[in-house]
Amino acid sequence: MMSPRWKFLLRFAVLLLVFELPLLTWPVDKYVARPLSAGIAMASGEALRFMHQKVTVKGTIIAAPCFAVDIQNGCNGLETMLFLLAAVLAFPTTAAQRCVASFLGILLIQIVNLIRVTSLYLVGCHRREWFESFHLAIWQTIVFATAVVFFAVWSRRAATSS
């Protein structure tokens, strides 16, 4: 007999594989990942324009004379959203709680990612030498940590309310 922890971990691992493996295929890239990246570029471009930045957005690229960013796979938050979704769906609680947590968690990740992309553009414009560190170390950690902390807080509350 498996303990509840091992059942959760097994379900989580299976769901993570089921969710992540399709990301390697061209249809998911073409019809999910790229449109998501373009949507993030559009939203980030609007946020930057709100901050009086003269940017143009074309597809996944946000550009201005001072700097440009291209939101590629891995920078759109999709993997982090799928990680969180696998954890939430594997957790033993009600379907309603899972549905609400999935929606709120994905929304939170995309808000943090919007802040990430916007700030990376600004860092690139004003402190280009900091860009790689912010892009590859600081912000990747923050976005993933957001998912982990959200799941930890939610799962504790869901476990005590069940």
> Residue 56 — left, alpha, or beta (φ > 0 → left; ψ -120 to 50 → alpha)?
beta
User: What is the pLDDT of the chain when averaged over all its residues?
Assistant: 96
What would the DSSP string read from start to end of the chain? ---HHHHHHHHHHHHHHHHHGGGGSHHHIIIIIHHHHHHHHHHHHHHHHHTT---EEETTEEE-SS-EEE--TTSSSHHHHHHHHHHHHHSSS-HHHHHHHHHHHHHHHHHHHHHHHHHHHHHHHH-GGGHHHIIIIIHHHHHHHHHHHHHHHHHHHHHHH-
- Residue the block writes with tokens 């959200």: 150
Predicted confidence band of residue 162 (pLDDT cuts 50, 70, 90): low
Inform me whether the pLDDT recorded for 4 exceeds 80.
yes
Q: Tokens standing for 34?
A: 């790229």
- Residue range 118-135: mean pLDDT, rounded: 97
**pLDDT, tens digit, for every residue of 12-58?**
999 999 999 999 999 999 999 999 999 999 999 999 999 999 999 99
Instruction: Determine the pLDDT at residue 160.
Output: 87
% residues pLDDT > 90 (the chain)? 93
